[in-house]
Structure formats: structure tokens, C-alpha cells
Structure 1
């Protein structure tokens, strides 16, 4: 557990600056790492080394057993944990060590609770030895959590200096559900300010970087999770999504995630960056290196009947799904606002062609007006309070506004009547989209997760490809296609590009194929609302074709 700093007052009684508070928090985080999990000075990578994903094997610092454990997926580990072939204590220690390494190399953590983790693991091992039965479907598995999930005794800063030293008095409901299923909590991961930036950077902890290339962003707002998972410091993580905060970091790092519709997974007792904002509901979902791990997590959480603990959870059991032999998939080449960069466009056609070859029906989704309206609704709803919720915490902590938060700093607050009209517009938009979907007779939309395969830190723009589906509350999966950026093949469009907007021109003007060479290319598959089981099944069908 991160040791809490002493009273914020300095020795002379003056209130400490935000810089001092943040520095103490960062130091407390480092101090929580035991000496045996701190990278030896002679093994520390130079700042000039961009790719650190191979460091665990190359360093010689990890034992063969630690590498075998941390390289395994959740689906690999769980049967061994349930049978006693692996001890939860050994698995937990291995992931604690690798998570500590991940943080020292990418700045991906926000808090630790190692004492709790080891105690939980011992209790689970004792239970299995005594009864011969696992406690639940996640027995003994370490699970990492995004910073906003409350764990008793730990801060949930969501990037704000004002929340430092304000430990949660309880666990979030999702944490209760996961722990009852056998999960072991050991770390929480970094987020951007208020969780409202598509890169994980804030004034408290700084910036999380991409393990494959530390000049790139790991995305946001669940970017600490994506970095930790790619580095294999976690077998299974949980993030949240209000405008793309699961899917964008998953796409940046080439891992899997499910953005569920609101009500499938419990959200009660989590900290929000904008508490009370419900025009667009925040949801949480799993992040993992395989689709199978996403599936097993989802079935485990819904199988625990969380609607008995969270009044906003829907009493819908996890359902078996049979896909039609011939899917009808609409391909969205662009959203009418931003044309995706060349690698993403190439991946779209690659997957679409595999679907055609396999006998599925592929049609074009050309609804730029609908997509633009969704983006407009998203943007207006996010700043409807005039930025007051965020301003309150910024000013309370004495920290400066980050430049990425300019839209909230400059926003005008809507009155109640204006907000009601915005809600009516949202409902009408949802109806228009549903009617268009029904008219097209489609099973899914295949589209970019974001305009990029990956992007240099500080250059992320446009959450339209994800955010519109938050307004609609549709079920979505971001998945790696198995393709990678080839700088020779994915050259900038140059003068051939006809930008659809100013942001489109900016994105293509900054696109640098050499900077993202070798990065995985992800796409998004979208189903209707509350079709989590179907979108996962369709994603598996797509992967079976392209892989």
C-alpha cells in the first residue's frame, strides 16, 4: 500500500504547493515498491531506449518461473490456480514484480496495495488446500484496476492533486464482485486529469508512455492499464469508457477490450472526474491481451448477478449466442469528420476483404451527418456544466489547468431547460440511428477505433470514432487486426489528401509513418445496445478469418 503523506502543512505552517503535494504522492508510490522489486541500477534502461517490451527477458532480472507466469494469459493461469498446480501467492508475487518494473519504465501506476494482495493470495491458497475448491471463477488471479475504482485505504485521484491523501472508505461494487470471484488486487493505474483526455497525463503523476515505443502515447483515459497489460505486468485489467477511454488505449497498444452497454457491469461507488454527469453514462470493462480473457471476465462478472448489489445494473444473465451463417457487416471508411490515417484504412479493407471471401455480406456505411451529430452531442454534453466540476477540483488543489483541458476551462454552463433540450436531441439521435441500422439490416459496423494506429505523445486528436457509440450506448470491441504499420507501405497521403475538416487536416499533417512503424493496427466492431455476447462472438469470427 502506498504510504500516505503526513499532513499537507509544511513545518512553518504554510500550505504546501500543488507541486509539493504531487511530488510527495509520486515519492510515496515509489517508496511502496519493495527493494526486491526495484530495478537494479545496472539494469535501468536509458531514456533513449524506446521499446522496453523485451526488457523482462533480456534483463535476466526475472526468474524463468516469473517469466512463465507473467507471459501466460488469464485463461492459461486460471485452471492451474483452480487445481492448485500454481499457488496464488507465487502468481501474485510475479505480477507484482513485473508491474513494478512496468511502472519504473513507463510510469503506469497510481497506487499499490501489495500487503493486501499477498494476504488475499495466502487466504485463497489456504482455502483451496482446506476445501479442495476454488472460491470462484477468478480464483487467485491478480487483476489490475484503473485509478478511479475505489479500494479501501487507497486514493482515487483521477489525476487531481485535490484528491491526494483522500483514501476511499470502501471498495467499489465491482471490486467487491471481483474479489468474491477470487480476484487479487495489487495495483491501480494512471489516468489523465478527470479521465477526460485521450492520453494518460496529469499534474499529479505525469505522463504514462507506450512500452513498445516510449515516444508514443498508451492512450487514455485507461492508458495506465493498457501500458501495464502490454508490458505483461497484469493478466487482466479493468478500465472505464465515457468517450473511448477503454477502446482508445487498447487500440494504441494492440490489446483487446469490450465497451459494454450501461447496466451490464456494476459502476456503483467509483470516483468520477465529473460526478453527477449522466447525460452520457460511464461504463467499465475488461482489458486483456486475448479475446478469450475478455470473454471469461465478462461471463464471471455477469454470472455473479451484480444487479443484486448495484441498483443500476440490469438483471440480464450472460447469454449463449448463435451467429447467423452469413453476417451482414457495414464498413465505415470515415465518419465525415476525419479520414483515418493510411494504416487504419489499409486494415479496414483487409478485414472487409476477408469477410467477403468467407461469404459474409459487406456493405458501405455512409452516414456522415449522423456521425457528426453524435460528435456534436458528445462535445456539448461533456461541457454542459461549464467545466464547473473539473474547475472545482483544479482550484481546490491549486494546480494549473492542463492545455488539453481547454474546452472545459472555456465552457459556458447550460441552464436546466437547455440541458433538457439536449437530452431530447440525444434521444431523437438515438432513434434516427436505430432506424438507419434497422433499414440497413446489419449485424455490425466495422470501423476505426481511432484515426491512428498509434500516435506520438501530445498529438492525439478526435475521439469521434468511439464517442458516438457512447452517446448511442452500443456494445463495442476494439481488437488488433494482426497487421502492423509499414512505413514503406503506409506513406502519408500528402497533396492527394482532401481533408474533411480542420482536425482532419491537422491529423494528416502530423502523420509520421516512421514514428509508428511496427505498431499494431486495431479496428472496432460495433453491435447494437446490450449485445455484448454477440459483438464478442462476431469479433471471434472476424479474428478466425484474418488470422
Structure 2
């Protein structure tokens, strides 16, 4: 399911059956900045919870069911897929449906398969109207109302993102729309103000047409909650779409959005979109933003890249190992220096991350669940038994993190690295490959490496002792036949506040591949 909130133009943002237009079950967010924004939203809403407590108590199933029904009701009848062409349940890969079913018009696939930067060229030149582009993506997402009344006028570009449909994660506020973060207690509690990013994108001419689903509290590594259920991977519905941005990734993989907050179809719009936002000086409106404008970085002819083959806790599965090896070989062939990078301190970072997540004893999550008697999801069961660490221990935790950050940057500087190439781990049971860089506050980029799982090549390894109990479980559960043909992505890591450099290096690496 792709949990999407439709952003309707009528009556402000529109209502469906007396319920503010919800998210539909198929898409949504991730990353440290997303979690910080979610925490801000969390703190704001908690102040209003006492008044809602009696109203919401004991009815989470009804609230969630009504929200899902309202979502379905918000889809225009002409955009309801006829039952006779819906892909059968056993069909795992549903990404070919838009092109092969005949459900879209002849023009709509052309629009929705066009890279974002080319869409901008056509909307600003008048070849396509913003209305036609938005209608095509709304229909392909199958979860939005028609947006005609709020679209920019054809031929009158309103900004650098004129007429470009952009999907937003659920944690970004849009006035009149829920930001549930997967809690039934926050259903029918629409935002009273826009997030800064919402205003910046709209001012740049973007069309914000859907909000996408998130896991409960954005604290599960795959996208699932009790309101909208589980978001699956449109390339294989037996697999996860990840988290906490699995909704965004699923929608974009299906072709239902040319650009979501943090990701887009081909990468060609990430830099101009980022420049647009940073050049709008968001630090004048959001005190948490660092006042650093976008900095142009010239590509280096020769990069020095460290390869981290494993994190010392869980080994990558065979196709990911192969992707690392093949990528390293191609980088060397292209003239770049490749060296091994040991995961020193990664176990400590993983432990610090885990303790930060549970530092309030799980009370914030437990309180919100209790408002509607919503049960805690099994993926979050540790929040039900967490221990409040108290102020002193929390300060010590900050000190541990600061020490680790200093040790890591010293080692990096001594090695003279430009970047680290690592695993973009997809297993829910272990988030150490990504979480460590949240603790270090480093800049990261995930990218496709032109490797797909091959069940004939990527056979399970039985000749290695497990690094940990979690490693043993991950390797036992690895099933190459279940994920045969699925693409593999890797992660490129730069130092703190090196986003521009990481994007530049990503372009260099993709060229080498």
C-alpha cells in the first residue's frame, strides 16, 4: 500500500465524507532531518492531546478504518481502476501496469516517464500545461483529487519549479491536512500552519499534490503503521519499500511522482531543487537551518574512496558484496584510488543510536498510542519495555557521541579520504549501515550501481562464522530466489556539511559505472 494524502484545491484543501483528505496506503519518509521535523511536529501536537484524549480513547480501529475509507472516497470515480484490469494478487511486480494496461491515455505515460528537468522545460515553454502534468501524475498515483484551480497559468512561469508536481512526506505540514506520523490519535487533526519547506516549494512554483505514508513515529525501518498498513515495493510486492521514506520510494518507483522530498526519478533535479531551497534562505524562517548557501564544487579527476566491506556487526548479503566489489573495480579502472576502510567505532555508534532512540523510556510513543487504545506494533515492541534514562545519563550519551565524532573525523583526515563507499542496508533487523552516519552527522547519498540480484550467482555463504546473532539471522533469512532481479543500491558518505561535495562525487561515480 502507498499511504498518500491527496491535496485537493476545493474548499481550501478539500474534505471527503467530513474527514480531511487522508493518505492512501502506498508511499513515505526517512533520514535524520525528517526525524527532527517529525520531533518538532510531535512536540507541537502533544500540547493539544489532553483535549482529544476522551474523544479518541478506545476507537483506534474505527478511526483507522474511516481514514482509509475517506482516502478511497477522495479518488475521482474516473480514476478508479476497473476490476477487470487490476493486476492479480500473485503478480509481484506491478510497475509495468501503467504502460501495459491501457488505463492511461496515450499522452499520460509520456508525461509521467519524463525526467523532472525535462518536465520543467516543457511546462515553462508551454508545450505541456501544469494542469496536464499534474493530472497525469495524480492519475498514476491513483490517490489525488484534480488540482486545476490551484495550478499556475499556462505560459506564465511562476518560479524555477513552475508546474512541477512534488510529493511530500507526511511529516511536512500542509494547512488543512493531517500529519499523522502513523498514529490513529492524530487522524482528523489537520495542520494549522505550513512547514517552511512547504512554503518554499510553493513559492518556487511547485505543485504539492500528495503527502505520503510513514511508519509509526517514523521509527521503523520499513513503512508500516496501524492506520494505513504496510507499504510494499512495487517492483516486488513481497518485499519492503524501506523506511521511514518507503512511501516516497514506492510512489517514485511506480512513476507516480517525478520528484519527492529527498528523491526523484533520475537525480537530474536534485541539485537545482536543492539550490532553489537553499537560495531562498530558509534559515531566516527556520531557526534550525544552518545559514549556508549552496556551494558549487568542482569535480575532482581522482577521488580517494574508502570501501567498507562490512560494519563488523552484520555482513552484507551476497548480491551487495558483489555490488561493492564490482563498483570498486570500476572506480579503480576509471583512475580513482580505492582503499579498505575498517568499521572502527561503528558498534559504539550503533549502541549510542539505540540508546538515543529509547532515551525517554518510550513514553512519547506509549502516550500517543494510549489516546486511542492503539496497540504497539511488533516492530516497536522495545518501546514498550524501554527505561527512562534521565537527564544525567542523557548528557553522558551526548558526550559519548561527541567523543566518537572527534575520533572518526581524526581517522578520516589522517587517511585523506574523499568519501566512503558502503552498504545501503535494506534489512529491518539492522540499521547500523545507515544509522552510524546519523550519529556522526555525515552527508550521505544512495545510488543505483547497475547490479541486480542473480540467484544463480548470489548464493548464500555457508563458510563464514556469523559476526553476531543478528548477522546469523540475516544470513539465514537471505533468499536469493525471492529477490531475484531486484536492483542493488550502495551508499556514498562524505563528512559533515559536505552535501554538495557528495552529490558531485556521486555524479563522478555514476559516470565511472
Q: TM-score, normalised by structure 2?
A: 0.89
- Offset at 1:118? 2.6
In structure 2, which of residues 200, 218, 224 is the aligned counterpart of residue 177 of structure 1?
Answer: 200
Aligned twin of 1:363: 339
Please list the CA deviations of residues 266-303 of structure 1 after superposition, one character each: whole Å capped at 9, or x if unmatched.
Answer: xxxxxxxxxxxxxxxxxxxx111212122222122112
Aligned twin of 1:447: 422
Aligned twin of 2:364: 389
Are 1:53 and 1:212, in contact at CA under 8 Å, matched by a contact in 2?
yes
Q: 2 CA distance for matches of 1:290 and 1:91?
A: 18
- Offset at 1:15? 6.4
Are 2:169 and 2:213, in contact at CA under 8 Å, matched by a contact in 1?
yes
Are 2:309 and 2:324, in contact at CA under 8 Å, matched by a contact in 1?
yes
Aligned twin of 1:542: 509
Aligned twin of 1:375: 350
**C-alpha spacing 1:67/1:424, structure 2 compared with 1 (3 Å):** same
Are 1:326 and 1:359, in contact at CA under 8 Å, matched by a contact in 2?
yes
- Offset at 1:497? 2.6
In structure 2, which of residues 101, 109, 114 is the aligned counterpart of residue 67 of structure 1?
Answer: 109
Are 1:70 and 1:94, in contact at CA under 8 Å, matched by a contact in 2?
yes
- Offset at 1:5? 5.8
In structure 1, which of residues 109, 115, 119 is the aligned counterpart of residue 149 of structure 2?
Answer: 119
Q: 2 CA distance for matches of 1:72 and 1:389?
A: 43
Q: How many residues end up aligned between the 2 structures?
A: 467
Are 2:57 and 2:371, in contact at CA under 8 Å, matched by a contact in 1?
no
Q: 2 CA distance for matches of 1:3 and 1:342?
A: 49
Are 1:4 and 1:165, in contact at CA under 8 Å, matched by a contact in 2?
no
Q: 2 CA distance for matches of 1:336 and 1:211?
A: 32
| Unmatched 5+ stretches in structure 2 | 1-7, 9-13, 20-54
Higher relative contact order (CA 8 A, sep 6+): 2
Please list the CA deviations of residues 486-535 of structure 1 after superposition, one character each: whole Å capped at 9, or x if unmatched.
Answer: 01010111x21321011100000000000110000100000011111110
Are 1:5 and 1:24, in contact at CA under 8 Å, matched by a contact in 2?
no
What is the RMSD computed on CA atoms of the aligned residues?
1.7
| Unmatched 5+ stretches in structure 1 | 8-12, 104-111, 239-285
Query: Where does 1:78-89 land on structure 2 (aligned, <5 Å)?
Result: 78-89=120-131
- Offset at 1:164? 0.4
In structure 2, which of residues 64, 68, 73 is the aligned counterpart of residue 22 of structure 1?
Answer: 64
| Matched residue SS, 1:291 | coil
Aligned twin of 2:429: 461
In structure 1, which of residues 452, 474, 482 is the aligned counterpart of residue 450 of structure 2?
Answer: 482
Please list the CA deviations of residues 71-113 of structure 1 after superposition, one character each: whole Å capped at 9, or x if unmatched.
Answer: 111111011111111100000000000011xx6xxxxxxxx5x
Q: 1 CA distance for matches of 2:479 and 2:80?
A: 35
- Offset at 1:14? 10
In structure 2, which of residues 464, 472, 477 is the aligned counterpart of residue 497 of structure 1?
Answer: 464
In structure 1, which of residues 68, 83, 99 is the aligned counterpart of residue 141 of structure 2?
Answer: 99
Are 2:312 and 2:346, in contact at CA under 8 Å, matched by a contact in 1?
yes
Q: 2 CA distance for matches of 1:14 and 1:182?
A: 38
Aligned twin of 1:242: none
Are 1:160 and 1:397, in contact at CA under 8 Å, matched by a contact in 2?
no
- Offset at 1:6? 5.3
In structure 1, which of residues 279, 299, 312 is the aligned counterpart of residue 288 of structure 2?
Answer: 312
Aligned twin of 1:156: 179
In structure 2, which of residues 304, 307, 311 is the aligned counterpart of residue 331 of structure 1?
Answer: 307
Q: 2 CA distance for matches of 1:372 and 1:136?
A: 46
Aligned twin of 1:398: 373
1:212 aligned onto 2:212? no
Are 2:452 and 2:486, in contact at CA under 8 Å, matched by a contact in 1?
yes
